[in-house]
Structure 1
Amino acid sequence: MKVNNNNQESSMKTIVLGFVLAFNSLTAHAAKYGLEPGDAVLTNCHEIYTRGVVKAKVDDGYTVHFPKNAGPIQCPPFRWHAEFVLPFQSVSEYSLKFLGGLKRDILFQVGEPVTFRVDTDRRVVKTKASIDIDAQITDISSNGAIAVKLISTDPEAAATFWQWIGGNYVDLRHKYLELERDKRSR
């Protein structure tokens, strides 16, 4: 019985070509920003960003230095893979776009109040499953993450704020801001 090797060769070439294209795409993504030591960056830890400065390039990313008031940092802060490090640039407003323009954009500006709804840690807040935290936007990054200052006076809200948000930037698409996005989209 004779086997047709042309189909097998063709399939193998297609698979190899797919792997080559995928690898090129990954390396291009990792080198996308080309950050240098001294550049201001945001490090992404579950859509909560900490602002820092690149200290050195390492083989797979960067060593980042964070100022004393940064944090709380929920991810190990030593070496960051390139895909979790974004260049930082401050902007005065950010327009959050949805569904390719089918839904109205939501505008966020520095100085505006926002409300976070955060699931509580039972060690900190024993009586509620979630808590609303009122804050004011103090800075916005060009990638759509906001830094805020606490304006809630409730001690449980303050404790939860300092446990999870603190001096970090929170992505406007984060689940903590779902309540705020719903309010603004009406």
Structure 2
Amino acid sequence: MMEKVNSHLLQGSRKQKMSFPPRVGVLHNIRSAHNVGSMFRTADAAGFAKLYLVGYTPGPVNAQGAPRVQLTKVALGAEQMVSWEQWETAEELFAFLHRQRYFIAALEQAPGAIPYYSFAPPPRPLALVVGNEVEGIPAKLLAQSDAVVAIPMLGKKESLNVSVAFGVMAYRLAFPCGGERTEE
């Protein structure tokens, strides 16, 4: 039996102001422009304020200023809705985010990681970090994170696609208590 979706979540949801501190995404060394485009679209849908593109993560425009077609084709305009910044190193970005009082949550399959369904974000701005499709998030960045969160896997594969994992966690952050958010 399917649960009925509350109509107030669908009607005018783009105009609703959600009652949680700002959320930003940190995309560290993502190689696929398709994955980045998908995360732009998800970030917009889940109410993220910004995406930080770190290392060689491709941005919506190339070095010549032209749109990156593989990314924009998947983002479907979300790259124009979600602000973004390119950062050379994650270490510098993490230091900046910590100075801004962001709680840094790394999404990674790692020993001791908190299952995503048990993670309770603190009442302050939060940065959700995802890493490279093959290598994940480097250990030195996990050590600089305030929490490491994992999505348990029930099948034989070790992890989800990075853009899918980002989506799972982004929505867990947006709707942590059974699907409803309160309006301010």
Higher helix share: 2
Larger Rg: 1
- Give me the TM-score of the superposition, normalised by structure 1: 0.29
Higher strand share: 1
- Give me the TM-score of the superposition, normalised by structure 2: 0.30
